[in-house]
Amino acid sequence: MNLKKNILIPLLSLTTLVACPGGGGGGGGAAFALLGLGGGGGDVPAPKLEILYEGVSRESGATLNLGSEPINTADGKTGTVTIKNSGNVAISLPGSPNVVALSGTDASQFTVTQPASSTLAAGASAIFTLNFKPTSIGVKTATIKIQSSDAAVGSFQMNLTGTAEAATPRLAVSVGATQIASNGSYGMGSVEIDSIGSAVTFTVKNTGSAVANLDGPPAVTSSNANFVLNLAGFPTTLAANASATFTIQFSPTGAAEVKTSNIAVSYDGALAFLFTATGTGTPKPVPTISISHNSTSFTTGGSIPTFGVVWPTVTSSTKTVTISNTGTATMTGITLSKPSGHTGDFTISAFSAGATLAAGASGTFTIQFAPSTTGARAAVVRIATTNGNNGAASSADLNVSGTGKTGADVLVSWTGTNEKAANDTDGGYKVCYSQTSGFTAVHNGTTVLCADVPNAGGTTPVSKVISVPTFGNWYFKVYSYGKYNTTGGTPSTQTSAVNVPST
């Protein structure tokens, strides 16, 4: 019997087809067998060891180059290695006596600071440090091994190398525990413009193995005068592993902005430790004056609306002036004065806030006009401060004006009783007036005033506009006179008092 096998492989099962020929002329038969391979699956929980140096994952057998280091330095050169469990169950690091075992030809030139734990949970990390501190010149090599429960990498190995150079000086700079990287930067914080920040102490250490001959003086330089150096006591040489200090004060001027300075610590003629100091100059709180009257700004001075016409000896209504401090600091030395003009005709009140005005506060004073005589009158009112111009002194002049009133018109009318015929040209009328009731109608130029209304022929005038020189009650009498009766007739009955207002 011939046996033929056909093997079919579908996605999730294996089918074996066996065909047997029929006998005795009969038809053939067929048999089928279906074998399942099982279903489901997924990753089996396991630890996974990962080693990173300078943020890069390293393979077992890789070489870590720690670079160059002078011989016999106090600190050596340090690198940090991370052990990470990238798996989904805890990993153990069973190395004994050390998790990280160091060996090799130049193992004595390297040291290892062990990780804090020999067990890492899923996703956890631990670090250990490598230190290269050579004692003789040349390329140095060593090996580190890490045992783990990762079945795929039970023993992780890395090769170490470093180059030992001749003894030489090397400077490092720090602030407290903060080490500043070569060509790095250090932030000095924020300081108000035109203010002096706190002194920050920088430590310069010779981490090399030979004396550093500091250049200068000065050995330390700043490219920006806003960063003030104090090098008092700074030495001219620095022995291996020795330190010295200097200070920088950030004292910004000019615009409120970020400011930078290139700091250089120079040594041995051609060498330098370089870094950048940065600081932010913030706006300095200053007072800022604002002056207004009736919602109109007079901060830079100007002419306020006139007081108009006012009788001498009468005091006008008040005009109110507002002084505000729109800045961020107290305004001081506020004064009001009348430096020029008819100063006696204008009065100013005291400023309601006194000589100082807090930030955001306001105060007022008033001006009044009391003319001493008739006609145009003007003066200057000056507002001054010691720091109202954004910290500088300020001064603004307000021009004030008014007019002393010369008279008020009163229309006096009467019934014609002239001494001659209407067509005669001699004679006329006298209109006498006084502020005294029952006065005698004789002009004296002070308490009694009289005005002629001469008869010029034709229609006899029976009225006259009289301009009285001041306000108050005025009394009037009218009488006629002629060529041959110059004393005139009997004065008219006194009129009722006419009140001339003071405004």
For 127-161, what is each residue's pLDDT tens digit?
999 999 999 999 999 999 999 999 999 999 999 99
- Alpha carbon distances (Å) from 183 to 89, 259, 262: 42, 17, 9
pLDDT at 30: 36
The arithmetic mean of pLDDT across residues 440-449, rounded, is 92
pTM, entire model: 0.60
What share of the chain has pLDDT > 70, as a percent? 89
pLDDT at 424: 57
C-alpha to C-alpha distance for 19 and 9, rounded to whole angstroms: 17
The arithmetic mean of pLDDT across residues 473-491, rounded, is 82
pLDDT at 484: 72
The reply to whether 42 falls in a domain is no
Q: pLDDT, tens digit, for every residue of 318-375?
A: 999 999 999 999 999 999 999 999 999 999 999 999 999 999 999 999 999 999 999 9
pLDDT at 458: 65
pLDDT at 7: 37
191 and 242 inside one domain:
yes
pLDDT at 12: 35
62 and 74 inside one domain:
yes
- Total number of domains in the chain: 5
Residue 279: both structure tokens together: 């600081």
The arithmetic mean of pLDDT across residues 152-173, rounded, is 96
pLDDT at 42: 54
The reply to whether 359 falls in a domain is yes
Question: Where in the sequence is the domain holding 266, given as residue range(s)?
Answer: 178-282
The reply to whether 429 falls in a domain is yes
The arithmetic mean of pLDDT across residues 41-58, rounded, is 87
The reply to whether 120 falls in a domain is yes
The arithmetic mean of pLDDT across residues 245-270, rounded, is 97
301 and 323 inside one domain:
yes
Are the C-beta atoms of residues 410 and 498 closer than 8 Å to each other? yes
261 and 232 inside one domain:
yes
Of 386, 404, 422, which residue is a domain's last?
404
pLDDT at 198: 97
The reply to whether 173 falls in a domain is no
Q: Which of 314, 204, 313, 184 is nearest to 265 (CA)?
A: 204
Q: pLDDT, tens digit, for every residue of 194-231?
A: 999 999 999 999 999 999 999 989 999 999 999 999 99
More confident residue, 177 or 33: 177
Of 254, 282, 310, which residue is a domain's last?
282
pLDDT at 37: 37
C-alpha to C-alpha distance for 207 and 74, rounded to whole angstroms: 7
What share of the chain has pLDDT > 90, as a percent? 78
CATH of the domain at 318: 2.60.40.10
The reply to whether 301 falls in a domain is yes
C-alpha to C-alpha distance for 467 and 406, rounded to whole angstroms: 9
201 and 98 inside one domain:
no
Of 360, 375, 404, which residue is a domain's last?
404
pLDDT band, residue 418 (cuts 50/70/90): low
365 and 392 inside one domain:
yes
pLDDT band, residue 479 (cuts 50/70/90): confident
pLDDT band, residue 462 (cuts 50/70/90): confident
Q: Which of 382, 270, 286, 389 is nearest to 329 (CA)?
A: 286
390 and 464 inside one domain:
no
Residue 48: both structure tokens together: 């996974």
C-alpha to C-alpha distance for 68 and 167, rounded to whole angstroms: 12
What is the pairing mode between strands 138-147 and 100-103?
A: antiparallel
The reply to whether 171 falls in a domain is no
C-alpha to C-alpha distance for 79 and 117, rounded to whole angstroms: 19
Tokens 């830079």, residue located: 300
The arithmetic mean of pLDDT across residues 472-492, rounded, is 82
C-alpha to C-alpha distance for 247 and 231, rounded to whole angstroms: 7
How confident is the prediction for the chain on average, in pLDDT?
89
Give yes or no for a cis peptide into 21 (omega within 30° of 0): no
- Alpha carbon distances (Å) from 154 to 86, 119, 142, 157: 15, 14, 20, 10
Q: Which of 51, 247, 35, 5 is nearest to 144 (CA)?
A: 51
The reply to whether 70 falls in a domain is yes
